[in-house]
Structure 1
C-alpha cells in the first residue's frame, strides 16, 4: 500500500511555501504527522508547538518551509538564524516528513530551500541536532555533507537528599542575581554550549533563576536553572574547581527553589560529566549528535 502510494506521487506536483506565506496550521499539521511514528513522542497542541518552536528555539516563519500536496501538508523544515559561537548560523529546528511521502524527494527539496535561505541571509554554516539511533536521518545528513562534531548527553537526579547533605564550602559566597549580571560572568568564559542552553536562548525565557559564586570579590562560578530544576548552565572557573563550588551552587538553588529533581544536557564535557557522575546523576537513554556543515 505504501509502495503504491509512493509510486503515484510526483515531486513536481508537491508545492513548497515559506511558512510565513501560509496558515501556521499547515506547519503544525506537517510537524504532527511527520513525528507520528518518531522514536520520541511529541504530543504538542498547536499553541505549544508555536510557543516552543517559534519562541526561545529561535525559528522564524520567514526562514521555514512547508511542503503541500493536494491541500495536505506533508513536510516541514523550521529554520532559525543567529550568531552561534561567532559564526552566523542557520539551524534546522526540525525536519518532519509524512510517512507516506518519505523517499520521494520532499526532504531533499526542503533541505535545499533551507540551505538557499541560509546563503541568502549570509550564514556561514548549517547546524542541527539528531537523536542517536535515528540512523536513517543521520545517514541522510551525512550524505548532504553534515559532520557530527559534538555528542549531547542528558542527565537527571530525582533524589536530592545526598546533594543537600554534602558539606558546604564556606569561602564561596553565593547570591541570586538578575540576568544582566549573570550574562556578564557568562561571557568571560570560552566554551562550547548547545543551542538550547546558549545565552540568547536563556534571554528569551522567563522561568529561570541565576546564581553566582564569588571568592575574594571575584565571580568564579555561575548557574542558570529553571523552576523545574532544568540546568541550562553550570560553570566554575578552572582555578577554583574541585572545591565544591558547583555543588554549593546547586545546593543553594535547590533549597531556594524547593526543587524535587534536577536535570541537564551536556555536550562533550568530561569535567562536567564527571561531576554529574560523582553526584550520582542518572544518564538518560536518549542522546543527540550536534551536526554541522560549512557553506
Structure 2
C-alpha cells in the first residue's frame, strides 16, 4: 500500500533514497552523496521538509516532491524543488498525488502562485504539469565559456569599479521591479554564501551604473549595466574583475528570456548549451490585484 508522508516526519536517509531512485534513469546524470544533496536542496534551493512530501510503499521510499516558499517576482511563491518517482512505480498516479499535496500545502501557506522548472524536451513531464494547470512562463537558456585572458580596455576615469557587499546587491536588485531573474540566480539563492564576488561600477557622484555577482565556481548570478551606459565596456570590466577575484577563467550563466543580456553574452564568446528549460507557473488566486 502506498502512503504519503510529510518530509519532517521521515528520515533524511529515506528522502535521499527516494531522490536517488527517482533520478536513477534521468537524462542528466545526477551524482551526489547525501551530504551534498542536503546542502544543496535544503540550502540555497530553499526547500523545507515541512513543505515536502515522500511517497512510501511499505518501508520503501518510491516518490518525492520538494517544496519551498519565498517572495518571488513580487508574489508569495511555492516552488517545486524536485519531483521524482521510482521507474517501476510510474504511471500509477503517484506524481499527481504528490503535486496535489504540494498545491494544498501552498494554499494553506497563503501562496499566490506555484512555480517550477522542467527540461523543455521532457514532453511527458511538461504535459503532466500542463494537466495540473501549469503554463510555460519563461525559457531558461544556459551559456558557458572562457573569458578572454586579456583585460578589457581601461575604463574612463569618470567610472569607479569597487567591491560591494551582498546587501548592496540585494538592495539594488529590489529597485529592478520589472526584471525577472530565475529562482536559482536571484539574491535569496546566494544570500548566505561567503564566497561570492560582488562588484559595482559607479560614477564619481556615486550613481550606480552596473553590478555583478559571481560565485566561486564562475556562475554569473547577477549582471546589470545601466542601459544608457552599455556598449562602453562596463559589463566586460565587471566580469573580468570578478573572475580575477575568484581566480577562474571559465564562467557560466542561466538566462531567462533576457534578449539584451543574451546578446552581450554571445558577444563575449560564451557558447549556448543544447538543453533549455521552461519556467512554469500556476496562479493560485488569479483574481487578486495585479
TM bucket by the smaller chain?
over 0.9
- CA distance in structure 2 between the aligned counterparts of 1:257 and 1:207, rounded to whole angstroms: 8
**How far apart, CA to CA, are the structure 1 residues paired with 2:240 and 2:99?**
45
- 1:166 and 2:158 correspond: no
Determine the structure 1 residue equivalent to 2:165: 178
Separation in 1 of the partners of 2:51 and 2:166? Answer: 28
Partner of 1:187: 174
| Aligned residue number for residue 42 of structure 2 | 54
Matches within 5 A, 1:138-217: 138-161=126-149, 164-170=150-156, 171-190=158-177, 191-216=179-204, 217=206
Question: What is the SS of the residue equivalent to 2:107?
Answer: helix
1:281 & 1:54 partners in 2: Cα distance? Answer: 31
Say whether the 8 Å CA contact 1:172–1:245 is kept in structure 2: no
* d(CA) in 2 for partners of 1:14, 1:257: 48
1:33/1:196 Cα in 2 relative to 1: closer, same or farther (>3 Å)? same
Q: Which secondary structure state, in structure 1, belongs to the residue aligned with residue 127 of structure 2?
A: helix
The match for 2:7 among 19, 27, 34 is 19
The farther-off stretch of 206-215 and 171-180 is 171-180
Question: In structure 1, what is the equivalent of residue 278 of structure 2?
Answer: 289
Q: Partners in 1 of 2:261 and 2:170 — Cα distance?
A: 20
Contact persistence 2:147–2:268 (CA under 8 A): no
Give 1:207 deviation, angstroms: 1.7
More moved, 252-261 vs 80-89: 252-261
| Structure 1: runs of 5 or more not aligned | 1-12
Q: C-alpha separation between the residues in 1 aligned to 2:10 and 2:245?
A: 46
SS in 2 for 1:221: strand
Query: Deviation string for 1:82-120 (max 9, x for gaps)?
Result: 111111110000001000000001000000000000000
TM-score by length of 1: 0.92
Q: 1:272 aligns with which of 257, 261, 264?
A: 261
Ranges in structure 2 where 5+ consecutive residues have no aligned partner: 285-290
Q: RMSD value over aligned CA atoms?
A: 1.2
Shift of 1:172: 2.4
Q: Is 1:30 paired with 2:30?
A: no
Deviation at 1:165?
Answer: 4.3
How does the TM-score come out when normalised to structure 2? Answer: 0.94
Q: Cα distance, 1:223 vs. partner? A: 0.2
SS of 1:103's equivalent in the other structure is coil
My pick for the range that moved more, 81-90 or 184-193, is: 184-193
Residue-by-residue CA offset, 1:45-103 (whole Å, 9 max, x unaligned): 01111000000100000000000002100000000001111111100000010000000
Give deviations 1:212-253, integer Å, cap 9, x for gaps: 011232111000001221110000112211211111101211
Is the CA contact (8 Å cut-off) linking 1:55 and 1:204 kept in structure 2? no
The answer (yes or no) to whether the contact 1:160–1:261 under 8 Å persists in 2 is: no
Rounded Cα–Cα distance in structure 1 between residues aligned with 2:71 and 2:221: 19
How far apart, CA to CA, are the structure 2 residues paired with 1:59 and 1:114? 12
Answer yes or no: is 1:253 the counterpart of 2:242.
yes
Q: Distance in 1 between matches of 2:219 and 2:154?
A: 22
Which residue is 1:225 aligned to?
214
User: C-alpha distance in 1, partners of 2:105/2:129?
Assistant: 17
